[in-house]
Structure 1
Amino acid sequence: MEATKKAKPSCGDAISNLPNDLLCRILSSLSTKEAALTSVLSKRWSNLLLSIPILDFDDSVFLNPQKGRRKTCFFKAFVDRLLSLRVETSSPVQRVSLKCRQGGVAPDCITMWILTTVRDLGVSDLSLRIDFGIFLLPFNVFRSKTLVNLRIGTMIRLALFPSGVVSPTVKSLVLDLVEFGYDEKDGFKQILLAFPSLQSLRIHESNKWKFWNGFASSTRTLKSLVYRRDDTDCCAPKPCVSFDTPSLVYLEYTDVVADKYDNLKLDSLVEAKIDFQLTPFQVMRKPNNIGFVPGNVTSFFKAIRNVKILSLSPDALEALYYRGEMIPVFNNLRSLSLGSDKPHGSTFIFWKLLPSLLNNSANLETLIIKGLVHYVAEGWEDLIPMARVCFSWNDVSASLSSSAVKVLEITRYKGTCQEVNRLKLFLGKLSRLQMVRVHHKAVNDGEKSRLMKVLLLLPKASKCKIQFIKETV
């Protein structure tokens, strides 16, 4: 009889039985508005809203698509109420994200929200995105002893730069389309003075939103620097660029080639990703078609000669070709990445510079060619008059034969006849090669099998393994 009795259903639901810490973690993955909706379930869920360590305020989720009007008044009331409750209950917050894209909230109100999160809630991670109009933000709102990660953007103008330390605890700073309203010349210098413990700095500028004048000087705390400038087609070169950053380990640099590079202290650099851009006026040859335009990038590449990992875009290769006198010796270089996944770059310049790069990198172990298909155009040698004068496949073969490369990685592989011929050259000359990774674009297993078979039959100068990997987006 007892065996036939049905078990009584357990009371409550599985989610409600979870501990508060786990529920708070789940709610933190939602927008704050969505998390607030759970407060109607019970008093327990209502109290959880005051314990969530992550607050995500986004005015776009308060839109009413049916009526087509913005619920800015609801958004303001919601943020005001929640921040007020968190202050009243002394509930600290780890991370706050504030996105105001629709307009309708007074700038003074937004500034007060930032002050509340930084000074009263002890936030350690703050992300701001103000996308309507030009938002003038007093810089001293970031005066904090708990703030560690700070992201500011976009269309924000920082004003009232303080003379003293703003935040000694900030280690990571992102400036996304941000400018200084009154002191553009020394803006970069003031940033580093305001955050004396800064370790990571990321800057995104455009032709309209810029503040860096080309001079970077830091304490020994700065380890990572990423600078990216959009709209380079219409940007004027900076008169001079200087990196006085002796402790910098990682550099990612995208900008128009400057007229001059001076005071470059990059001896600690381990990894560099360079994407130089040339203006039409910079791509000029001397009358004899041999020399290079003055104001070159040679000094910059000499300054980064100690790197172990180097990535050069197609435009960076063109800058090195048109505005470089020589390629320095990279004694420490272990990994070299050339090209781009996008169909871009000069075939002639790629093969012209490859021998020099290999010959000057005696300890190179990994060679990555992004988009080999972009550098194997059929008949290009005959279409370029200079190719018959200053280009030789014998130079390419000799540099490959003497290279210490152990790993070869090819992306965007399509298996064209020209690609196969170039891979035949690599496999037949790289005598120390141990691994070949080919990222293919085969549409089905049959095509993949065919591409693999062709590669496996190519003659090889070493007993290397070949990995065939599906290209990811």
Structure 2
Amino acid sequence: MEATKKAKPSCGDAISNLPDDLLCRILSSLSTKEAALTSVLSKRWSNLLLSIPIFDFDDTVFLNPQKGRRKNVFFKAFVDRLLSLRVETSSPVQRVSLKCRQGGVAPDCITKWILTTVRDLGVLDLSLRIDFGIFQLPFNVFRSKTLVNLRIGTMIRLAQFPSDVVSPTLNSLVLDLVEFRDDDKDGFKQILLAFPSLQSLRIHESNEWKFWNGSASSTRTLKSLVYRRDSDCCAPKPCVSFDTPSLVYLEYTDVVADKYENLKLDSLVEAKIDFNLTAFQIMRKPNSSGFVSGDVTTFFKAIRNVKILCLSPDALEALYYRGKMIPVFNNLRSLSLGSDKPHGSTFIFWKLLPSMLNNSPNLETLIIKGLVHYVAKGWEDLRPISRLCFSWDDVSASFSSSAVEVLEITRYKGTCQEVNKMKHFLGKLSRLQMVKVHHKAVNDEEKSRLMKDVLLLPKASKCKIQFMKETV
């Protein structure tokens, strides 16, 4: 019994004996709410709270479980006190996340918190999410000389930008469902000019929250650009241009624009394209001068130097309906077709695949996301006229001459139609070395059946076949 009593103090002191810097790292992995709870342990733990480099303020998980106005009062008092103590002790903060989703905190108070973290605490990484009402972010936040990463969203309106606002250190910017003032038509252009060192930009827009007019210019340092426009936005932009000669990564989801021009994408290495077409765009004809709005040919020519290309089913449809030709992708090494969405035109996929392979002479890896998306039940039993005059001869010829060495299939279920498509891939891709099949079998018995069906198919080359469980 006595030995047991002596062992308890040393066991309990194990974490307290750690140095302060290591304890601060441990507290930084917790939410600010959980870190604050440790301050009741001792004065040392209370002091540590003033040294942790990360703050995560979230009014939905605050200390006091009471709801309503009383909870907001406690949340405001907690943030006010903690920020004030850090300013008094001159303790800088590296990263701050502020989420106000319940309402009840005055906008002036939120503004004060933001400016305190930027101006007085020298924060490097700032994430803002204001989900109630419409909060107008003051432009002074962009005068920071220390801010490196900034995420703004959602329901935030950006104040008008004076031309002298410059944040020389900002490297990464995320604009998630934000907007500029109605009278600030050049706001997006001005924000790019305000960040001369910007390398990464992510934009998310919807029908209600939009501000990008389609022009990305004066971004000579930009390396990565992600733009996503929700599908509820049906109106195409009049013109889209990318004056981004240093861009390496592009992820672009949008309704096909009326036209594309001034596209400087020669440094692009990887592109993920998810175009959407309106019904009117599919049926649109040339005007009296021969111009066809919504032509994506210029865009695909601009990205022809990429090494990695991912096209969604909708992007393939845009290329089929609104593209005059498929350019030659001499540098392309990896081509991914499809998406995790269960849709896609069987005819368009197999119609464009031969051209994509023929125009990618150095292609090494072909990834088809969801082969089942491109298999219409009963489609193979239709007469040729009903298949829109589709021919397997074009597919077979492109497979035989293709340089593809790795084939990857996801969301594989092993249906008769899928097995038949696998037969074409394995039987015609003469340089194939590896086939990776991500299956959706629910048990080992079903997995064995899927493997057997594929392994028995004739192969044009001696390739290895791997079966892997589909991951979410």
Q: TM-score, normalised by structure 1?
A: 0.94
Partner of 1:239: 238
Q: 1:186 Cα shift?
A: 1.8
Q: Distance in 1 between matches of 2:286 and 2:68?
A: 63
Q: Spell out, residue by residue over 1:299-334, the C-alpha distance to the aligned partner (whole angstroms, 9 max, x if none).
A: 000000000000000100000011111111100000
Structure 1 residues 322 and 197, CA gap change in structure 2 (3 angstroms): same
Q: 1:447 Cα shift?
A: 1.1
Structure 1 residues 235 and 184, CA gap change in structure 2 (3 angstroms): farther
Paired residue secondary structure (1:354) = helix
Structure 1 residues 326 and 39, CA gap change in structure 2 (3 angstroms): same
Q: Distance in 2 between matches of 1:3 and 1:472?
A: 50
8 Å CA contact retained: 2:99, 2:128? yes
Which stretch shifts more, 29-38 or 121-130?
29-38
Structure 1 residues 203 and 291, CA gap change in structure 2 (3 angstroms): same
8 Å CA contact retained: 2:396, 2:424? yes
Q: 1:232 Cα shift?
A: 2.5
Structure 1 residues 155 and 198, CA gap change in structure 2 (3 angstroms): same
Q: 1:295 Cα shift?
A: 3.1
Q: 1:380 Cα shift?
A: 2.1
Structure 1 residues 432 and 84, CA gap change in structure 2 (3 angstroms): same
8 Å CA contact retained: 1:246, 1:265? yes
Aligned CA-pair RMSD: 2.8
8 Å CA contact retained: 1:184, 1:212? no
Unaligned runs of 5+ in 2: none
Which stretch shifts more, 22-31 or 386-395?
386-395
8 Å CA contact retained: 1:270, 1:309? yes
Structure 1 residues 7 and 349, CA gap change in structure 2 (3 angstroms): closer
Structure 1 residues 5 and 141, CA gap change in structure 2 (3 angstroms): closer
Structure 1 residues 243 and 222, CA gap change in structure 2 (3 angstroms): same
Q: Distance in 1 between matches of 2:3 and 2:11?
A: 22
Which stretch shifts more, 109-118 or 133-142?
133-142
Paired residue secondary structure (2:84) = helix
Q: Distance in 2 between matches of 1:17 and 1:235?
A: 61
Q: Percent identity?
A: 90
Q: 1:378 Cα shift?
A: 3.3
Q: 1:160 Cα shift?
A: 2.9
Q: Distance in 2 between matches of 1:128 and 1:149?
A: 11
Q: Distance in 1 between matches of 2:284 and 2:386?
A: 16
Q: Distance in 2 between matches of 1:260 and 1:4?
A: 79
Q: How does 1:245-394 map to 2 (within 5 A)?
A: 245-284=244-283, 294-380=293-379, 388=387, 390-394=389-393
Q: 1:383 Cα shift?
A: 5.6
Q: 1:119 Cα shift?
A: 1.1
Q: Distance in 1 between matches of 2:7 and 2:250?
A: 64
Q: Distance in 1 between matches of 2:66 and 2:220?
A: 55
Q: 1:62 Cα shift?
A: 2.7
Q: Spell out, residue by residue over 1:58-112, the C-alpha distance to the aligned partner (whole angstroms, 9 max, x if none).
A: 1112386566655111111111100010011111110000001111111111111
Q: Distance in 2 between matches of 1:152 and 1:421?
A: 48
How many residues in Structure 1 have an aligned counterpart in Structure 2?
472
Q: 1:219 Cα shift?
A: 3.2
Structure 1 residues 43 and 424, CA gap change in structure 2 (3 angstroms): same
Q: 1:193 Cα shift?
A: 0.2
Structure 1 residues 37 and 2, CA gap change in structure 2 (3 angstroms): closer
Structure 1 residues 105 and 187, CA gap change in structure 2 (3 angstroms): same
Q: 1:340 Cα shift?
A: 1.3
Q: Spell out, residue by residue over 1:138-176, the C-alpha distance to the aligned partner (whole angstroms, 9 max, x if none).
A: 122231111000000000001031212421000000000
Which stretch shifts more, 174-183 or 357-366?
174-183
Q: Distance in 2 between matches of 1:7 and 1:282?
A: 76
Q: Spell out, residue by residue over 1:346-381, the C-alpha distance to the aligned partner (whole angstroms, 9 max, x if none).
A: 111100100000000000000000000111223325
